[in-house]
Amino acid sequence: MLIVKKFGGSSVADKERIFRVAKRCIEDYRAGNDVVVVLSAMGDTTDELLAKAKDINPNATKRELDMLLTTGEQISVSLMAMAMNSLGVPAISLNAFQVEMHSTSCYGNARFKKIDSERIQHELDSKKIVVVTGFQGVNKYEDYTTLGRGGSDTTAVAIAAALHADSCEIYTDVDGIYTADPRVVPNARKLTEISYDEMLELASLGARVLHNRSVEMAKKYGVQLVVRSSLNRTEGTIVKEVVKMEKLLVSGVATDKNTARISVIGIEDKPGVAFRIFNTLARKNINVDIILQSVGRDGTKDISFTVAEDDITDAIRILEENKEALTIKEIKHKEDVAKLSIVGAGMMSNPGVAAQMFEALYNAGVNINMISTSEIRITVLVDEHDIDRAMRAVHDGFGLGD
């Protein structure tokens, strides 16, 4: 078997943890597998480097920031190879130049274009564990790039795809993917398997286990992902194309408190107005999520939508600046709201799922503000103080617990 294993920064934060990871990889190696390990920078290294840069130049170019930040992973991979060597196992560290991890030119937020497998394969053929820097690429100018948030997951998946690996294991601080956040829903159950599409809906909904981009890439190249804990030996959750049908319609419940609602009141009830509002926001990089438009009345209508809480000030400022052009009479907002979503590939062929969710919320006395659906997801906006109760109610309503 060829296994790619990815460990985050906290898993290699100090000597003890480095050796823990080294031993875990060596077990797989000694069992006869080819092993590639992808690492992030140790602990807070990236933040420390960023602080140094900010001290020198608060407006440093992303090109130079990437040149600086990529040292973080190079330190962790070389120390990891040394640790493995000291345990008697041949290992070699490689950076983005050595592997030839070609990325787009965009500094700070690059995407992979092509990953050469030749060097890694050569080292695997010489029976070495190969330890590769995550998070970084090299662009057409022969400059370092970084991949943005969750980048090391993407590196692991991209390498697994290039090498046609049998499995890509993402080690995190949780056991796997749960039917709901176990801190809120005590009887939440760990899923054995989940499909790429379900995982994508969950990832974008705030279940911060896997980054969306890595799941998208895994889906595209058919890389089987395993999400497991770096702290224990439990089996984890397998993310793959088709999961064996479980009895459940719904795989999981996710919540996101980082959301706020904006209402624009009394806009002209004629074509193109809604387009202009969302176009104005999009041009300022503000992502709009759930949208609800009222039926027109007296020649005007109201539109409500949600944005990330971090964007609320910018969004309101932009709308105020364009109030007249957009024919807005009044702008209202509410920050103490939260999203609750259920995700499940099974709901596509089962029309009663939404009603079942609303019933569970009604029985728990939770008021629904807004509703949005996709083929395999139903999201509702509720008051933030209701969210935990709502989550437990829906989780129980679908019988997801143990």
User: What does the binding site for a copy of itself look like in residue numbers (CB under 8 A)?
Assistant: 15, 18, 49, 52-53, 55-57, 59-61, 63-65, 67-68, 70-71, 74-75, 77-79, 81-83, 85-86, 92-93, 95, 97-98, 119, 142-143
Q: Which is nearer to a copy of itself, 70 or 251 (CB)?
A: 70
Beta strands in 151-299 (DSSP E): 167-172, 193-195, 225-229, 237-240, 252-268, 288-293
- Sequence-distant (≥ 6) Cβ neighbours of residue 202 within 8 angstroms: 177, 194, 209, 251, 252, 254, 343
Nearer to a copy of itself, 82 or 184 (CB): 82
**Closer CB to a copy of itself, 18 or 205, in the complex:** 18
CB of 32 to a copy of itself, least distance (A): 24
Closest distance of CB 34 from a copy of itself, Å: 20
Compute the least distance from the CB of residue 128 to a copy of itself, in Å. Answer: 11
C-alpha closest to that of 75 among 99, 93, 102: 93
52 versus 329: smaller Cβ distance to a copy of itself: 52
> CB neighbours of 192 closer than 8 A, spacing ≥ 6?
235, 237, 238
Q: Which is nearer to a copy of itself, 125 or 324 (CB)?
A: 125
Q: Are 255 and 206 in contact (CB under 8 A)?
A: yes
368 to each of 251, 344, 372, how far by Cα in Å? 21, 20, 11
* 9 CB burial (10 A radius; 0-12, 13-18, 19+): buried
The pair phi, psi for residue 338, each rounded to 5°, is -150, 155
Closest contact distance (angstroms) between CB of 100 and a copy of itself is 9
Nearer of residues 55 and 324 to a copy of itself, judged by Cβ: 55
Nearest to 299 by CA among 334, 278, 256, 329: 329
- Partner residues linked to 237 by β-bridges: 227
Q: How far is the CB of 13 from a copy of itself (least distance, A)?
A: 13
Q: Which of 311, 305, 309 is nearest to 331 (CA)?
A: 305
Order of strands across the sheet that contains 167-172? 91-94, 129-133, 34-39, 2-7, 167-172, 225-229, 237-240, 193-195
What CA–CA distance (Å, rounded) separates 109 from 87? Answer: 36
Q: How far is the CB of 159 from a copy of itself (least distance, A)?
A: 17
Nearer to a copy of itself, 119 or 208 (CB): 119
For the CB of residue 66, give the shortest distance to a copy of itself in the complex, in Å: 9
Of 85 and 372, CB closest to a copy of itself: 85
Question: Considering Cα of 383, then 387, then 392, then 398, what sign does the dihedral take?
Answer: positive
Cα dihedral 75, 76, 79, 85 sign: negative
For residue 151, the minimal CB distance to a copy of itself (Å) is 18
- Closer CB to a copy of itself, residue 81 or residue 203? 81
Amino acid at residue number 341: S
Q: How many CA atoms lie less than 13 Å away from 111 in the CB half-sphere?
A: 6
- Express the helix, strand and coil content of the chain in percent, nearest 5 each: 40, 30, 35
Q: How far is the CB of 296 from a copy of itself (least distance, A)?
A: 53
For a copy of itself, give the closer residue by CB, 128 or 228: 128
Q: Of 125, 72, 77, which Cα lies nearest the Cα of 98?
A: 77
Rounded to a whole number of angstroms, the minimum distance from the CB of residue 161 to a copy of itself is 22
